Every structure is written in C-alpha cells, then in structure tokens.
Amino acid sequence: VRILIVGATGTLGRAVTRALIGRPAQHDVLAASRDSALTVDLGSPDTIATLYEQVGQLDAVICCAGAVPLGGLASFDRTDLQAAVAEKLLGQLELVRAGAPHLRDGGSFTLVSGITAYDPIRGGALLSTVNAGIDGFVRGAALDLDRGIRINSVSATVFAEVVDDYTEQFPGYPTVPVAAVAAAFVKSVEGGQTGQTYTVGY
Ligand SMILES: NC(=O)c1ccc[n+]([C@@H]2O[C@H](COP(=O)([O-])OP(=O)(O)OC[C@H]3O[C@@H](n4cnc5c(N)ncnc54)[C@H](OP(=O)(O)O)[C@@H]3O)[C@@H](O)[C@H]2O)c1
C-alpha cells in the first residue's frame, strides 16, 4: 500500500511512519513536509497540487501536520482569523479535495484534529474551531467520496513525549503515548470504517 504522510518528520509523523513500516502489509511510505525531499506547505494550495503531480497514484494520504495560533480573541484581527484556519483546516481539506483523484479505488484519507474540539483550553478558540471543523468535514466528506474511498480523523489528547512543552496550556489534561495515537492511524488505513473520529487518550 502506497501511503503519503504529510508531516512525517514530526513527533506524530515519525510514530505513524514507524507503525506503518512495521505492519505485515509492508506499506510503502512517502514522507512530505516543508523541509523534506517531497516538499509541501499545507498553507499553500499550489504546493499541494505540485506534490500530488510528483507522487502519482496513492492508496492512502495521512496528515500529521498543521499549526494553529493560540491567543485571546481580542488579540486577533480579521486577517489573523483567516490565516489561522488556512493551514491546519483548509490545508487538510485541500489535501482531500485535490488528492481524491490521485487515490486508487478503496483508498483512504486520515486527518489530524485534537482534543480541543470538545475540551477547550484558554486562548484556544481558534484551535477548537479548526479541530471541530476537521472532525465535521470528515463526517460530511465520507458521504461524498466515491470509489470506496474512506476518510477518518484522529483526535488525541496531549502526547506524553512532549507534555513538558504543553503543561501550562493543558493543565490537568490526560496524556497518551504517541505510539497509541499512531495505532489509530493504522486502524484508519487498514480498517474498513469511514466518517469516524478516533479519539485517543481521552
Ligand atoms: N503534540 C501534541 O501533544 C498533540 C496532541 C493532539 C494533536 N496534535 C496535533 O498533531 C499534529 C502534529 O503534531 P506534532 O506534535 O507531531 O507536531 P510537530 O512535531 O511540530 O511536527 C509537525 C510536522 O508537520 C510538518 N509541518 C509543519 N508545518 C507544516 C506545513 N505548513 N505544511 C506541511 N508540513 C508542515 C513538520 O515538518 P516541516 O517543519 O519540515 O514542515 C513536521 O513534520 C498537529 O496538527 C497537532 O495539532 C498534537
């Protein structure tokens, strides 16, 4: 199975790559990010189009990338709001919109959202918006994708490996080993479900 992973070099992306390479199915993983041999910037639709032209036919697309700025609503102007949704939300939607024709029959998309869709943090209104938007998109897009193409999202709590970086922003939140989050991506790629959000660690 030929799988494109956007954000393959990050904490999550490395764990997902490890999990997929270790599967009996011996997946062929293509790594992409802003600073990989296969270059893509989620915030730039042109780079997504170029990436798909470069890689050819795929069986699965996984996204492990996308940042959202934190801050009180009063600190954002309208341009900031548009910029905040452009990367993780619109970038992942574009990965699906532009990528569907490049997927073989029965292929899959797996997007990344996060706990704040349901369990918000202070200064995280835009983060909650983006993560809830991704989960909503997955539910809706599952009905539209044809040729047996599936789509799911993975929504995790804070990764145990990086909890020290987030302990002030996520006070008292549960943590989860990133390998458990990676397993949800394996389930999405190899399983049969669609339109699902797999919550992990909460
Ligand atoms: N960390 C957590 O505890 C946690 C918990 C729940 C959900 N999440 C979500 O999981 C995702 C990954 O988190 P992470 O902690 O693994 O992040 P990370 O370690 O910072 O890794 C991010 C990855 O995405 C790539 N990337 C960053 N911006 C990009 C862009 N604009 N276009 C394409 N690729 C880009 C990075 O590579 P380059 O720099 O080369 O582009 C890197 O490979 C995020 O969406 C995050 O919200 C994280």
Calpha distance 159→139 (Å, rounded): 25
Compute the distance from residue 65 Cα to the ligand 1 centre, in Å.
4
Ligand 1 cavity residues, CB under 6 Å: 6-13, 33-36, 40-43, 64-67, 87-88, 112, 114, 156, 158-159, 162, 166
**Beta-ladder partners of 110:** 62, 152
pLDDT at 26: 86
pLDDT along the chain (202 residues), means of 10: 98 98 95 97 98 98 97 94 96 98 98 98 97 98 98 98 96 98 98 98 98
Calpha distance 41→31 (Å, rounded): 13
pLDDT at 116: 98
pLDDT at 177: 98
Compute the distance from residue 5 Cα to the ligand 1 centre, in Å.
11
pTM of the predicted structure, to 2 decimals: 0.98
Compute the distance from residue 146 Cα to the ligand 1 centre, in Å.
29
Letter for the amino acid at 67?
A
Calpha distance 188→196 (Å, rounded): 9
Q: Given ligand 1 and candidates 11, 92, 119, 153, which is best to mutate, with the most ligand atoms within 8 Å of its CB?
A: 11
- Atom index in ligand 1 nearest the CA of residue 127 equals 47
- Atom index in ligand 1 nearest the CA of residue 88 equals 45
Calpha distance 127→113 (Å, rounded): 9
pLDDT at 30: 98
Q: Are strands 150-156 and 38-39 parallel, antiparallel or unpaired?
A: unpaired
Q: Given ligand 1 and candidates 5, 17, 30, 33, which is best to mutate, with the most ligand atoms within 8 Å of its CB?
A: 33
pLDDT at 76: 94
Q: Is the CB of residue 38 less than 8 Å from the CB of residue 93? A: no
